[in-house]
Chains A and B, each alone.
Chain A
Amino acid sequence: MLGEGILKGLAETARNFAGSFVSAERLTTVQYPEERIAPIEATRDFPFLLYDGSDWEAGMRCVACQICEKECPPQCIYIEKSKDKKPDALGKPQFYPARFDIDISVCMSCQICVEVCPFEAIKMDTEFELSTTDRFGGLLYDRKELAKSNEHYHKIHPTEAAEVDARLAEEKAKADAKAKAAAAAAAAKAAAPVQAAVQVQPAKPVQPAGDLTAERETKA
Chain B
Amino acid sequence: MTDAKLEFDAAVGAKQEGWNRPPVMEPSGEGGVLELAMGPHHPSTHGVFRMDVALDGERVIRLKPVFGYLHRNHEKLAEGMSYLGSMPFTDRLDYICSLTNNWAYALAVEKLTGQEVPERAEYLRVILGELTRVVNHASSIGFLIQEMGASGTPLMYAFREREKILDLFEALTGARMMCNYMRFGGCRVDASAAWLEATRKVVAGLPGFVDEFEQLLRSNEILMARCQGVGILRPDLAVNAGVTGPLLRASGVNYDIRKVDGYGIYNRFKFRVPLGDHGDVYDRFMIRMLELRESIKILEQALKEIPVGPVMDAKAKIRGFRPKAGEAYGRIEAPKGELGFYLISDGGPNPYRYRVRPPSLINLTILEDMCLGQNVADVVLIFGSVDIVLGEVDR
Contacts and interface: CB of A to CB of B under 8 A. Distances in A.
A2 B222 CA distance: 10
Interface stretch (A94-102, A167-175, A211-219): A211-219
A8 B85 CA distance: 50
B80 A216 contact: no
Interface stretch (B105-113, B168-176, B387-395): B168-176
Contacts of B80: 218-219
A42 B350 CA distance: 30
A150 B82 CA distance: 30
B170 A43 contact: yes
B28 interface: no
A91 interface: no
A108 B86 CA distance: 12
B215 A8 contact: yes
Given A42-B172, A42-B174, A218 B350 contact: yes
Nearest to A42: B174
Interface string B50-74: 0000000000000000000000000
Given A5-B224, A42-B170, A12 B85 contact: no
Interface stretch (A77-85, A110-118, A134-142, A176-184): A110-118
A197 B383 CA distance: 85
B216 A12 contact: yes
A31 interface: no
B219 A115 contact: no
Contacts, number: 94
B224 A112 contact: no
B174 A124 contact: yes
Nearest to A108: B88
12 contacts: A2-B221, A5-B220, A9-B217, A9-B220, A28-B163, A71-B85, A108-B88, A109-B178, A112-B180, A218-B80, A219-B80, A219-B348
Contact of B215 (A12, A40, A42): A12
A73 B180 CA distance: 12
Contacts of A112: 84-85, 87-88, 180
B161 to A, nearest CB: 10
Interface residues of A, number: 36
B381 to A, nearest CB: 18
Interface in A86-132: 108-112, 115-116, 118, 124
Q: Which 8 residue pairs are nearest across A and B when measured between Cβ atoms?
A: A5-B219, A110-B88, A44-B174, A73-B85, A5-B220, A12-B216, A42-B174, A9-B216
Nearest to A3: B221
A67 B223 CA distance: 56
B207 to A, nearest CB: 15
Given A73-B88, A115-B318, A40 B219 contact: no
Contact of B319 (A12, A43, A211): A211
Contacts of B220: 5-6, 8-9
Given A4-B219, A28-B163, A214-B319, A12 B349 contact: no
Query: Is chain B's binding surface mostly helix, strand, loop or mixed?
Result: helix
A13 B178 contact: no
Contact of B350 (A4, A28, A214, A219): A219
Contacts of B153: 13
Nearest to A11: B215
Interface of B: 79-82, 84-89, 91, 153, 157, 160, 163, 167, 170-175, 178, 180, 188-189, 212, 215-224, 318-320, 348-350
B349 A216 contact: yes
Nearest to A218: B80
A5 B218 contact: yes
B178 A110 contact: yes
Contacts of B224: 5
Given A5-B220, A12-B216, A115-B318, 16 more contacts: A4-B219, A5-B218, A8-B219, A8-B220, A9-B215, A9-B217, A16-B157, A40-B167, A42-B174, A44-B175, A71-B82, A73-B88, A116-B318, A214-B320, A217-B349, A218-B350
Contacts of B222: 6
A65 B222 CA distance: 64
A121 to B, nearest CB: 15
Nearest to B219: A5
Nearest to B164: A28
A2 B212 CA distance: 21
Contacts of A4: 219, 221
Contact of A73 (B81, B215, B320): B81
Contacts of B318: 115-116
A43 B170 CA distance: 6
B167 to A, nearest CB: 7
A165 interface: no
B382 to A, nearest CB: 22
A6 B225 CA distance: 12
Contacts of A124: 174
A5 B218 CA distance: 8
Contacts of B81: 73
A44 B171 CA distance: 10
A2 B320 CA distance: 66
Given A40-B171, A71-B85, A28 B219 contact: no
Interface in A1-47: 2-6, 8-9, 12-13, 16, 28, 40-44
